[in-house]
A and B are shown apart, each in its own frame.
Chain A
């Protein structure tokens, strides 16, 4: 892509999210979301492959629907209460509608159907931007509004963790697995939104770090299926040995960083007398763990039959920039002991 156009689009994406962050008026927040959506669309269909165009169209339709619902809800709220402020949504209908619209925007179950197909049509970098940056603005809005319907958020959260677990079970396409993993993690974030919003932010940031590591590891290996990952030991042996840790961190196993959000969420849910819900969520995390382990089994724990020619790439020096990957992998693995400091930082 023309570097000027690429710069403009990336700046526009940043601008959209920043406008939403800076807004206290619903119209400005909606505008930020729309700018964000429109800016990423050309990035998504850069390659002009029919599947990429299909993914772009599906993404556009779902995001436009969600933005329209959001605008409708905010106008309804303005009509009833007479004010456009983000924090003062006191009636249940607009609040519920906003929650559902934002759930569609980020891909929570049962509004998740677009996510695997859209991610499958994109290349790994754009998929990374979709999974991480595009979630920031909707989450900011979710954190601002006072949820009127406590059970709606819990239903959305639990459904997402279950769907994310079950849906990813038999995939062999990595991007679809990452989509279902995203749905599951978003479910965890939503579960605790109304009780301890800082934990939502913590889970979101931890998810960003872990997903970034995983996407970039797959990009370094240039692989989009589980089978093609089996050759990563010859391309980048160190990355192949670190990826199981990233995957286990995504699965939420101690002593890795991914355990931190899950532990704190389960603790908070138990404090709120929602122990059965916490149990169900923890059990659904096992489903996700199964397909994470499957990826690490294919990548690191087994060696696929191959010819000698394919065992030699590690000998050649690589020009890939792996510094971001190194940083995020270290954070993914080693951040658990800093839990008290992070909690203090987020609850300031």
Chain B
């Protein structure tokens, strides 16, 4: 089966295309959800020249957009002040104390898709595709696409073939980061319907140092593939620390008071189409789960 023709840089003119900025760098097929904004990924595809535009040419000035932005941010600020008068996170304290389940993301309209960012190895020159749309009756989200693990031929990349969906960082007024506070809960509850593929759930917590910005806490999500919905409950104590995909030796539990994003990644080296339908993503408190952390840390160089 031949690969579909892709209207990007052909292999034979790779070298000339690298130095020729007139070739379109992005594929013609649009993604259903916009790619990550510049603020979220300052990634340069290997083999591509850097964009050397001065800052005043990179910014687009628009007066009406500016006014819209000002009104939007001041409205958010006023909302923050009034939420503070009600209670923590805008809810009365009794609600905060009694909460045992909370649905964080559910897909009930097109606006819910705007909270998610898709990415695949197309960014580094691979051929996987990923799309996100609403499922039937606007009740679920449908993540689908094709996985291709053929690595891009740029001389740098050796492995490829991944697709992922990541939630956007919640922001308050003036684009300040807001963190999810899940300290009252201890389990992640997902309702999904997959196609039998093994996915990875990645949670990104707030970090202080720049060398920790790629720290993710991951766990596996094995989907069944049947026509029936699957309720997956993963305790947060099971999440292990990874950095840029590599599991770390020094493990520590995920602290739930400052969670930034959650993401789902597929990279099981099985080329072909994939589908994942998500009904909701929530957190719940499992009273019977008392484990703090599932992994023991052994000394790597024990003195004998």
Contacts and interface: CB of A to CB of B under 8 A. Distances in A.
Contact of B287 (A48, A226, A307): A307
A50 B212 contact: yes
Interface string A301-317: 01011110110000000
A192 to B, nearest CB: 30
A224 B292 CA distance: 14
Interface stretch (A83-91, A169-177, A320-328): A169-177
Interface stretch (B59-67, B95-103, B134-142): B95-103
A297 B87 CA distance: 14
Interface in B200-226: 207-209, 212, 215
Nearest to A230: B97
Contact of A172 (B183, B207, B250, B288): B183
Given A54-B209, A173-B183, A48 B252 contact: yes
Given A172-B96, A173-B183, 15 more contacts: A50-B208, A53-B208, A54-B209, A170-B84, A172-B183, A172-B184, A226-B96, A297-B93, A304-B98, A305-B98, A306-B287, A307-B288, A309-B287, A309-B288, A310-B287
A21 B100 CA distance: 51
A54 B96 CA distance: 28
B258 to A, nearest CB: 8
Contacts of B288: 307, 309
Contact of A120 (B97, B209, B253, B257): B257
Contacts of B89: 170
B255 A298 contact: no
Interface residues of B, number: 24
B88 interface: yes
A225 B183 contact: yes
B180 to A, nearest CB: 13
Contacts of A146: none
B88 to A, nearest CB: 5
A8 to B, nearest CB: 20
A49 B252 contact: yes
Interface string B123-134: 000000000000
Q: Which of A171, A172, A173 has the most CB of B within 10 A?
A: A172
